[in-house]
Structure 1
């Protein structure tokens, strides 16, 4: 580590609270321990058995991950692409914490360096204390991983075109309005609104292409819905290639068995009852205890939070990006996951 980098890190840490510093120390120690454990257990790890979830922040991915942990023997790798806490090398310039956008890679691009890094990550060879923070005890007995992305949807087409993946990844979609509202209440309630600009990353993707429209979105709600669109459009545009399984949060709430059965059928696996039993468990990231006992209430709870004018503004964004699967005036997707 260079002296310049050392002093930059030290200066940044000096601004952290005591609690934040303790969390960093715990994460660092966890990384050391689990890296050693995985080195010792290397011959027991079978990354071809990995499962992959691609979703939006606050899109229900932790709930789905929790359901899939019922299959056993899989430790969690959490968000390798996170701009602050992820494990992809920063010199690849997939994105920065400052931009708060999402990585994008053209699906037909040849990028050996990124491919090499992702293979290491999916093998458990490139981890840190944050990406291993969910159920770390599983690293002592796992044989594969559940890799959970919340910033990787726009890289999904590139990943399936460039890496050998046995079980089709899950593209897990949730209605953009409750996603945006949850992001605002969880992450952005103290932030001053800033319009979108072209991010400082290697491939700005659809943000650069549509910046004239996106930069004019003048509320947190419409801006976040615009980001949902550019995050998911690359995968939606390639959906007919059938290289991943698209399932919808709303379908999983209302019709969990046929939704999961379709996913497991794509994997060539039978659906265990213990997996279905986990559907109604509250997600660990449901900090406000928002899970409703009635599935219909859970799906529709955002409807009364918006005025008709706000819904029209959101629909303008969805129409601009030609998003057909969701409407600002309806909670349900136009497509069933199990159809």
Structure 2
């Protein structure tokens, strides 16, 4: 605060430090999730436990991130095949190694910590569709983390938080609309924006998980499990992702009850069970039935509209 009063912009310091850094993409920690799924909370927990790391904050943001507007990634990038991915490989490599940045993407970085940092934690809510390409193309030392939250809770939270971002009932604006084309007639029949957002959640989830990513190459984490048993789930995540050698802080020193910096007033219940159940209790039986119809159409079987907890088949 004192530095700002004197007219000194901390970003100048961070920019100078990062320009001299040479972070390696392969040694980065990657967190993928949908908006309002708990990714900031998880990022902040890992940031406290991993020594000498800096945060690369939402580099795919369409207005404040690092992706040139002429590429028209907009809603979120998706590539048809490996050849198309290769056209953007250098940019993605620069993004993951924090070779390109903006005041927005470096907002979580402390200049003093940046000076001694040796790895990058990149947190995305717009990159899920290219997770298959990233795991295939980059020889990552640590498994990318894919955090999933119940689609009803996720989408209701999106509607509450992003009140001014109204979605039209048509295809989102992004490159390669083809992944939505086959569902256009179904999308047009949906009655509410909640159903529409849940349909988009389903399309994106299916492109990531259903046969597109080798699950052995990622760490799949459920928000509900993380909320109910944070220490157990974080320890499992650390082991599964291979992050154990990076941990410098004892897990018992982490305050898991501390909300993330993006939790808004009255959006977090003190009781874990209430937090997990509150969104499903908010909607009526008829709405749940329509949402279940959306989930059934997309063959989503890790969640249903009647229970807040994930369904883990074969686990």
Task: Please tell me whether residue 215 in structure 1 is matched to residue 194 in structure 2.
Answer: no
> Does the 8 A contact of 1:107 with 1:161 survive in 2?
no
> Does the 8 A contact of 1:66 with 1:278 survive in 2?
no
Q: Distance in 1 between matches of 2:251 and 2:307?
A: 32
> Does the 8 A contact of 2:209 with 2:215 survive in 1?
no
CA offsets, 1:56-81, max 9 Å, x none? 11111100001101212111111122
Task: Return the match for 1:127 from 96, 101, 121.
Answer: 101
Query: RMSD between aligned alpha carbons?
Result: 2.4
Task: Please tell me whether residue 184 in structure 1 is matched to residue 147 in structure 2.
Answer: no
Deviation at 1:275, TM superposition (A): 6.8
Q: Which residue of 2 aligns with 1:147?
A: 122
Deviation at 1:135, TM superposition (A): 3.5
Task: Please tell me whether residue 256 in structure 1 is matched to residue 230 in structure 2.
Answer: yes
Residues 228 and 274 of structure 1, relative CA distance in 2, 3 Å threshold: same
Q: Distance in 2 between matches of 1:177 and 1:298?
A: 13
Task: Please tell me whether residue 55 in structure 1 is matched to residue 28 in structure 2.
Answer: no
Unaligned ranges ≥5, structure 1: 1-25, 96-100
CA offsets, 1:251-296, max 9 Å, x none? 1011223322222122334375337724222111111242223221
Deviation at 1:88, TM superposition (A): 1.8
Task: Return the match for 2:306 from 329, 332, 335.
Answer: 329
Task: Please tell me whether residue 67 in structure 1 is matched to residue 40 in structure 2.
Answer: no
> Does the 8 A contact of 2:171 with 2:177 survive in 1?
no
TM norm structure 2: 0.87
Q: Distance in 2 between matches of 1:226 and 1:284?
A: 28
Unaligned ranges ≥5, structure 2: 1-6
Task: Return the match for 2:131 from 141, 156, 181.
Answer: 156
How many residues align? The count is 302
> Does the 8 A contact of 2:30 with 2:121 survive in 1?
yes
Residues 164 and 193 of structure 1, relative CA distance in 2, 3 Å threshold: closer
Deviation at 1:108, TM superposition (A): 3.7
